[in-house]
């Protein structure tokens, strides 16, 4: 074997081994960077420190396709001139069209560049006549790709340490390094996104905690999935104040144990819609406080996703709406009842008549509508005054209510006129009811010497009956017949 050839082979092996060691060192340093900025800087520093180039510039590709110089190493002048510059997405297309393909690398020799203004930064390097010497306008690029083949950046190098165009060994090492750099950048981008998401979630959690704890209305989180479904996971001070329970009495308990739900099927359907992502649930439920007192809670429930693989929760906000519910109930009562006697008025009588008529048409069994008019009541007002007359009306209303059967309705039509709506009654039972009404009214009134009686007219309610007003008119006529007969 030729001794000179053997020495040349050993020298190349030594160069390769030394370069591989340097590559390993800078690759380890590059992979140690946690954030994207640290990784990018490690890439360019690794090229300068480990691969024998005087300058390294890294262009990061943004989602819109544009390139931005993010990291520069080896020359303060190059860093000042290039760092932060943004280029169009096609910035490298023209140069690559005239470049030599060195594997995945692209080398643009100066002699192929078109005449004109040079774009970018050019090192101050003497020009040599040697065709293999590095020229100040020569350019070597290493595209950087992610694991799925996406172009993530462009690495450009300049000023080889031997001032010559890189040979096969350095090209191979640069290509290997570029492959690792692309993967490191892809990993660092993911790390940055995760860190940003973590920071966002921490900030969001801090904001949520501040709002949650400081809210004037009651707030709680309720488990929606798995074993925690329906369990109270978190409450604020206002929730405890409104419900009357301490936090340790509520946490872990099922919210349903404190609520009186008269329509559980509807609640189940509403929760299913909420689970499918259909808006926000508004609710009003009766809540039992520690001493057994019941209050009305009104509020909203919204489904919150906590992240991939995490169970969903319900965020509910409540207020004590007992006063409003009481006011609404009182308003409904006044709208349907006579203010003096508390008996149902004509409006409520109409409502109940509609239901009685529907059942009469179903069963075929008749009912009855009775019209009651008080006799001699005008003498009470004339002799004792209207205040005594009002007391007498309240007493008579109570007597009428006590004389009817359970389920019958006694209503005041106005003045001294009353109506009784009786379902499933006829014949002797109807006669007995009329007798009881007459007897109840005829009892003496406290501190009133006037004998007040009642005349009662009745008409049947049959499946062919239609109009309450027409029926009242017929009962009124029947009452006058009974009054004249009396």
Instruction: Convert the pLDDT of each residue in 324-338 to its tens digit.
Output: 888 888 888 888 889
Lowest-confidence region among 71-80, 172-181, 208-217: 208-217
Task: Give the active site residue among 64, 416, 446, 467.
Answer: 416
* pLDDT value of residue 4: 46
Q: Residue 350 falls within a domain, yes or no?
A: yes
Please tell me whether residues 221 and 297 are part of one structural domain.
yes
In a domain, 385, yes or no: yes
As beta bridge partners, residue 374 has 454
Residues 36, 170: one domain? Answer: yes
**How far, in Å, CA of 291 to CA of 90, rounded?**
75
Give 400's contacts (C-beta < 8 A, 6+ positions apart): 372, 410, 418, 420, 437, 440, 441
- Whether 132 and 222 map to the same domain: the answer is no
**Radius of gyration for the alpha carbons in the chain, expressed in angstroms and rounded:** 47
Arithmetic mean of pLDDT, 119-127: 76
The better pLDDT of the pair 328, 468 is held by 468
Q: What is the pLDDT of residues 11-51, one digit of tens each?
A: 455 555 555 555 555 555 555 545 778 888 888 888 888 78
Instruction: Look at residue 70 and tell me if it is in a domain.
Output: yes
CATH of the domain at 429: 3.30.70.270
Who contacts 246 (Cβ-Cβ below 8 Å, separation ≥6)? 240
Residues 448 and 319 in one domain: no
Q: How many domains does the chain have?
A: 3
Verify that 227 and 364 share a domain, yes or no.
no
- Same domain? 363 vs 257: no
- Measured in degrees and rounded to the nearest 5, phi and psi for residue 281 equal -90, 125
Given 192, 227, 245, the domain boundary residue is: 192
Tell me the average pLDDT across 148-155. Answer: 90
Run of H or E residues at 152:
strand 151-160
- Residues 150, 110 share a domain: yes
Per-residue pLDDT at 141 exceeds 50? yes
Q: Residue 416 catalytic?
A: yes
pLDDT, tens digit, 9 for 90 and up, residues 423-436: 999 999 999 999 99
Q: How confident is the model at residue 107 (pLDDT cuts 50, 70, 90)?
A: very high
pLDDT at 9 over 50: no
Q: What is the pLDDT of residue 316?
A: 85
**What is the edge-to-edge ordering of all strands in the sheet holding 417-422?**
409-414, 417-422, 367-375, 453-461
- Residue 81: inside a domain, yes or no? yes
198 domain-assigned: no
Give the β-pairing of 151-160 and 218-223: unpaired
Are 159 and 136 within 8 A, CB to CB?
no
Same domain, 236 and 319: yes
User: Do residues 152 and 244 both lie within one domain?
Assistant: no
Which pLDDT does position 267 carry in this prediction? 78
Residue 265 lies in a domain: yes
In a domain, 203, yes or no: no
Name the band, by pLDDT with cuts 50, 70 and 90, for residue 203: low
d(Cα 397, Cα 97) in Å, to the nearest integer? 105
Q: What is the mean pLDDT of the segment spanning 352-359?
A: 93
The answer to the question of residue 278 being in a domain is yes
User: End of a domain among 126, 160, 192?
Assistant: 192
pLDDT the model gives residue 374: 93
Confidence category of residue 346, pLDDT binned at 50, 70, 90 = very high
- pLDDT surpasses 70 at 96: yes
**What pLDDT is recorded for position 301?**
84
Contacts 24+ apart (CB under 8 A), 477-482: 478/371, 479/371, 479/372, 479/373, 479/455, 480/455, 481/457, 482/455, 482/456, 482/457
Query: 139 with 220, same domain?
Result: no
CATH code of the domain covering residue 65: 3.30.450.40
Q: Based on the fold, state whether residues 31 and 136 are members of the same structural domain.
A: yes
What is residue 457's three-state secondary structure?
strand
Same domain for 148 and 79: yes
Please check the confidence at residue 319 and state whether its pLDDT lies above 50.
yes
Domain with 359 in it: 337-485
Per-residue pLDDT, 31: 53
Domain's final residue, options 327, 351, 381: 327
Percentage of the residues of the chain whose pLDDT score is greater than 90: 37
Q: Is 49 exposed, middle or buried (0-12, 13-18, 19+ CB in 10 A)?
A: middle
Task: Using the predicted structure, report yes or no on whether residue 248 has a pLDDT greater than 70.
Answer: yes
Q: Could you tell me the CATH number of the domain that includes residue 289?
A: 3.30.450.20
Q: What is the mean pLDDT of the chain?
A: 84
């Amino acid at each position: 074997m030729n001794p000179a050839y053997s020495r040349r082979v050993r020298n190349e092996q030594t160069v390769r081994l030394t370069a591989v060691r340097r590559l390993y060192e800078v690759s380890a340093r590059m992979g140690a960077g946690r954030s994207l900025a640290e990784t990018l800087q490690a890439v360019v520093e690794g090229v300068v420190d480990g691969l024998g180039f005087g300058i390294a510039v890294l262009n990061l590709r943004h989602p819109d396709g544009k390139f931005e110089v993010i990291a520069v190493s080896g020359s303060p002048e190059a860093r000042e001139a290039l760092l932060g510059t943004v280029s169009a997405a096609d910035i490298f297309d023209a140069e690559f069209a005239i470049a030599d393909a060195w594997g995945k690398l692209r080398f643009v020799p100066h002699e192929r560049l078109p005449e004109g203004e040079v774009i970018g930064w050019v090192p101050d390097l003497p020009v040599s006549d040697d065709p293999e010497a590095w020229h100040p306008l020569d350019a070597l690029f290493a595209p950087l790709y992610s694991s799925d083949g996406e172009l993530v950046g462009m690495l450009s190098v300049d000023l080889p340490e031997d001032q010559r165009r890189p040979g096969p060994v350095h090209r191979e090492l640069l290509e290997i390094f570029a492959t690792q750099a692309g993967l490191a950048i892809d990993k660092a981008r993911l790390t940055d996104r995760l860190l940003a998401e973590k920071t966002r979630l921490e900030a969001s959690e801090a904001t949520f905690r501040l709002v949650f704890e400081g809210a004037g209305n009651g707030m709680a989180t309720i488990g929606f999935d798995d074993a925690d479904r329906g369990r109270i996971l978190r409450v604020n001070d206002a929730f405890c104040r409104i419900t009357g329970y301490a936090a340790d009495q509520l946490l872990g308990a099922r919210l349903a144990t404190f609520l009186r739900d008269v329509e559980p099927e509807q609640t189940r359907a509403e929760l299913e819609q909420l689970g499918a992502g259909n808006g926000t649930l508004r609710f009003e439920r009766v809540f039992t406080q520690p001493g057994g007192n019941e209050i009305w809670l009104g509020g909203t429930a919204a489904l919150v996703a906590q992240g991939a693989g995490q169970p969903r929760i319900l965020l509910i906000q409540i207020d004590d709406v007992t006063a409003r519910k009481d006011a609404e109930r009182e308003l409904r009562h006044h709208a349907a009842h006579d203010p003096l006697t508390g008996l149902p008025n004509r409006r409520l009588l109409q409502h109940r008549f509609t239901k009685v008529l529907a059942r009469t048409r179903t069963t075929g069994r008749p009912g009855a509508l009775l019209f009651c008019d008080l006799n001699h009541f005008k003498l009470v007002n004339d002799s004792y005054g209207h205040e005594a007359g009002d007391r007498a009306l309240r007493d008579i209303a109570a007597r009428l209510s006590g004389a009817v059967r359970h389920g019958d309705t006694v209503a005041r039509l106005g003045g001294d006129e009353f109506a009784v709506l009786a379902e499933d009654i006829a014949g002797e039972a109807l006669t007995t009811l009329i007798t009881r009404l007459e007897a109840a009214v005829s009892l003496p009134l406290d501190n009133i010497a006037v004998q007040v009686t009642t005349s009662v007219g009745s008409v049947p309610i049959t499946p062919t009956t239609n109009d309450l007003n027409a029926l009242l008119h017929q009962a009124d006529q029947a009452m006058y017949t009974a009054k004249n007969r009396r």
